[in-house]
Amino acid sequence: MTIQQILSRTRLRHLALLTVSVLSVAATVSAATTHHRATHHTQHSSAAATGPAPVILSAHPGTQLDIDARKLNSDDLEDAAKHHDHPVVLVGSAPLSSGKNDEALFVQLQSARLCGSAGCTTSVYLRHNDSWKTVLDSVNGDISVLPTRHKGMHDLLVGKNDKWIWDGNEYQDTLSAPPMPKMNGPN
């Protein structure tokens, strides 16, 4: 083997080690960022006073929120199981009102069968005392809690510009559907 071949192999080994090191650092940074986002989610209520506070959805198997989410979505989960589908249950929570016993649960079921071309849907449940009520059902897009309020509840932003406001009973979309095009009848 020539010196040039030995140097070439040594360079390849160094390049491979450098690549593994860079990938390891990237994985560590990614894990730290994910942990920071999950930690930040639990503290975002104070951020809501300054601008939209994104609701971070993540899997928390075995927690009370996960158990509640599975109960609230038991029909969808049972149907998925019949089709040998096992969706990932993602949950998040945020205070939407100033009520001490009010808590919102954001739930998204992720699987190829349950998610469509627009992505996976998220539903929002409001807990008052010991019962959950659906207040926003099956919306597509990231959800953020806005600092603005209607009838005592924070407004929600779905995606980048779809604002939902509280009507006293549930969230209502503020985007109106575009008018239907006029159809010309047969001549």
Task: Return the pLDDT at 186.
Answer: 65
Tokens of 96: 């939407």
Element (DSSP H or E) covering residue 71: helix 64-72
Mean pLDDT estimate for the chain = 79
Three-class secondary structure assignment of 4-41 = HHHHHHHHHHHHHHHHHHHHHHHHHHHHHHHHHHHHHH
Instruction: Tell if the pTM clears 0.85, that is, is over it.
Output: no
Higher pLDDT, 101 or 5: 101
Task: Return the pLDDT at 42.
Answer: 41
pLDDT at position 8 over 90: no
Using DSSP's 3-state secondary structure scheme, residue 88 falls into: strand
Task: Return the pLDDT at 30.
Answer: 44
* Each residue's pLDDT tens digit, 11-58: 545 444 434 343 443 444 344 444 444 444 444 444 446 789 999 999
* Residue 143 CB contacts under 8 Å (≥ 6 apart), including other chains: 54, 55, 106, 122, 124, 156, 157, 158
Strand 162-166's sheet: what is its strand order? 53-54, 143-150, 153-158, 162-166, 171-173
* Each residue's pLDDT tens digit, 96-140: 988 777 789 999 999 988 888 888 999 999 987 788 999 999 999
Q: Which long-range contacts (CB under 8 A, 24 or more apart) does 46-51 make?
A: 48/94, 48/145, 48/146, 48/147, 48/154, 49/147, 50/147, 51/147
Contact between 174 and 165 under an 8 Å Cβ cutoff? The reply is: yes
